[in-house]
Structures are given as structure tokens and as C-alpha cells.
Amino acid sequence: MKRYGEFLTAEEDLMFVETVRKYVDNEVMPVRAALDEDYSVFEKVNQGLVDLGIQRRGFAERYGGLGIRAATTVCAITEEISRGDAGLSLHCLLTPWSLAAAMGARNEYLMDKYIPMFASDTPRVGCMAITEPAGGCNVEDSAERASTIRTRARREGNEWVIKGEKMWPSAAGVADLYCVVCTTEEDNNEDSLALIYVPKGTPGLSFGKPEPKMGMRVTDVNAAIYFDEVRVPIENRAGGPGVDWQLFRGNIAWGRLTSAPMSLGCAQAVLEEVIEYTGTRAYGGKPVRNHSLQGAMIADMAIGIESARAYYMSVAKMFDNRKVYGGVNEDYLLGKASAAKVYACDVTEMVCAKAMELMGSYGYSTQAPIEKYLRDSKIIQLWLGGAQLGRLDAAQSLYPYNPILKS
């Protein structure tokens, strides 16, 4: 795997990524178009990934997991699956992402209670419920210090009682477990932010209709979540005052980092399509790709992809070396992860646009997968605060945040 060889040093990790790559080539690529329309196709290819161990990869071996936690390996796996379908790749990330707070807090109660059902060969998925109707992506904005959260958990005896609404969370209505970002106070701040786990079927938990979308139509279900006096044990909180805020910032950093390879997997697949297409079409007595104009466009695509990959992998190496670079909840790594996402998404948009120019009407047609990768990748650019908040976090990681300038 030349693409990742300089970043993945463990032979077993390289072998696992290669196994995933072959599975994507053989089982996912042929059904890419069907993944836009047919849930049974999604179930089949997802089961294949579960059988390979993708669902178990992020959990400790004592729970039946594979113990693959290195950020570089996670990113490589993410890009390879996304090369087949970005929504499928997202689905594989949702479970470890939603359980990251429990694991980050080393909450034995929650880990013992919930991880075993995910570290199995039965397809399951978790949900991270963040965005709200009024504030939108403001919840993900560190400068807001959690002040815009309106979903509230109040304590009554030995239970948390949750009331509120979330919008657009992935796997809403189909998840087995929900990690809910909420607040414990009326006038809330980062100390009152709480991450509370709600299992499916809990009374008071209900959902809106799935959102009709441009991309990821089948592989990712987005819907409103309603919490109407939802009761769970007090032990279902991940950490505690102040701790949950830091865990949440870590979640955002991980989400942005892994968004970069998810987006870039789309770009890599598009590049491969373009190289094949321009090699079988000719004008002026030679293949399209052998002309300097088209060759330069292909070069720009490849340069963008390789530089974006090198960047996100360098940030992943930082995630794996926290003694030097600090915690993933801190400004420095959050800023680097944000920049990696911004750059990878910009590159993917450029690659898709150039691909359509090179392939003409065929690139625009649903007969080719270019338009699908463009549709699927756009939401990656928008989620977790979008491109502009990502840029702001990247900038503010370079200097201390100062909300008020005094004259």
C-alpha cells in the first residue's frame, strides 16, 4: 500500500487496510449506484464490512474488539471505504465516535454496559446527537462555550430527565444507542454541558421523518430526534461537569480529522475514473490524457489529493503522539484537524469539477459515478460547523482566544 506506507508502520495495520481495499474493489464498487436507492444493498455490503471486523476495530480486545485505535490506521481505513461510498464509510465511524466519550472518560459502567453489543458480528450503529434547531452548528463552535444548547437534562433522584430536540444527527431512528449533547442548567456554559447516553426504545424518545437529501440517501439516515421527558440512570453520563466539555471537544476534533479521508476517498475514486476514461478516449491521434492540456488537469487533481492526504496523515500522526502535541480536546490539535478537513473538502470539490470538465456530459450523467461522489462529498464539507467555522478554529488555534478586547 504505497499510499499509506510511510504513515502506517505496523504490518498488521497495513494488511488490514489492504483487506478493506480489496473488499471495496470487489464488493462495493460494482454496486455504488445501487447504494443510492436500495437499502438491501447497503445491508449486504455493510454486513461484509462487519464480518471483516470494521465494527469491532475501535474497541479493546477484552470486549471482543480488535483494538485498532491509531489515528493513522483509522484514517486509512476511512479513505478506502469512502473510495467505494462515503455514506458507508460514515456509517462505520458512527459507532466508535458515539462511544468515544464513554471510553475517553474511562467510564467502566458505560463501557461494560454498551460496548459488548457493538463489538460483535451483528450490525449495529451509534448516534451522536449534537445539532439543534435554533443554534445549528453553534453547538460545535468552541467560542460559544456551549451557551446555545437548549436540550436540557435535569436531575430527579437517580435519573436524568432529558427534554429537547436535535436536528440532522446521523443514524437518527436506526441507532442502537444515542450520545446526547445537552445541558444541566438554564444558564448554561461549558461546565454544564453533559454527554448522556440514551438507548433505543427508551420511553419519550421519538423521531421525525428522514430528511430528503442530495447525497448519502440510503447509507446515512438524518432525522429530528425528540426527547420528551426521557429518563435514564444518572450513571449514563459520560464524565461530569467540565469533563464532558473536554470530551466533546475531543469528539469534534476526531470528527473533523476523519472527515478529511472520508472526503478524499471520493476524490481518489474520481481520479481513478478520470484516468481510465481519458485513456480510452482519443483525439488528434492519441489518448485524451496524453495531451498536455488534459494531462495538466489530471496532474492538478493528483497533486491536490496527495498533498491533502499527506496533510491529514501528518495530523493523524500528531493525534498518535499526544505527549508532544497535547490532547485532541486542546486548541492545537482541534485546529489542525479542522484545517485537514477544510483542505481535503476543497480538494475534493476541485477534483470533481475538473473530472466533469474532462469527461464532459458523461461525467455529468448518472451513468458515471462522478456526480454521486460530488453529491456525497458536499455534506462532509458542511457538517461539524462547516468550512468557515473550520477555518476559524484553524486560525484561532494559532493564538489565544480573547472574547473581549479592552481599551
> Which domains occur in the chain, in start order?
11-118 (1.10.540.10), 126-240 (2.40.110.10), 244-396 (1.20.140.10)
Q: Please state the φ and ψ torsions of residue 154, each to the nearest 5 degrees.
A: -110, 145
Residue 405 pLDDT class (50, 70, 90 cuts): low
List of residues 6+ apart from 102 with CB closer than 8 A: 110, 111, 114, 115, 179, 197, 238
Q: Output the nine-digit C-alpha cell for 246.
A: 473536554
What pLDDT sits at residue 388? 92
| Cα–Cα nearest to 235, from 157, 140, 150, 327 | 157
- Determine the average pLDDT of the residues in 72-82: 97
Question: Which of 17-21, 66-70, 305-309 is the least confident region?
Answer: 66-70
Q: For strand 152-156 and strand 193-199, is the pairing parallel, antiparallel, or unpaired? A: unpaired
- Average of per-residue pLDDT values in the chain: 94
Say how far apart CA 305 and CA 261 lie, in whole Å: 10
Q: For strand 159-166 and strand 152-156, is the pairing parallel, antiparallel, or unpaired? A: antiparallel
On the question of pLDDT at 404 being above 60, the answer is no
What pLDDT sits at residue 187? 78
Q: Would you say 378 and 213 are in contact if contact means Cβ atoms under 8 Å apart?
A: no
Q: Is 61 exposed, middle or buried (0-12, 13-18, 19+ CB in 10 A)?
A: exposed
- Determine the average pLDDT of the residues in 85-108: 97
Q: Would you say 334 and 318 are in contact if contact means Cβ atoms under 8 Å apart?
A: no
What pLDDT sits at residue 354? 97
Say how far apart CA 206 and CA 173 lie, in whole Å: 8
On the question of pLDDT at 265 being above 80, the answer is yes
Q: Output the nine-digit C-alpha cell for 247.
A: 470530551
- Determine the average pLDDT of the residues in 201-208: 98
- Determine the average pLDDT of the residues in 348-377: 95
What pLDDT sits at residue 407? 46
- Determine the average pLDDT of the residues in 156-184: 97
Residue 43 pLDDT class (50, 70, 90 cuts): very high
What pLDDT sits at residue 401? 63
Q: Alpha carbon of 101 to those of 194, 201, 236, 313: distances in Å?
A: 10, 21, 11, 23
Q: Would you say 151 and 183 are in contact if contact means Cβ atoms under 8 Å apart?
A: yes
What pLDDT sits at residue 147? 87
Residue 229 pLDDT class (50, 70, 90 cuts): very high
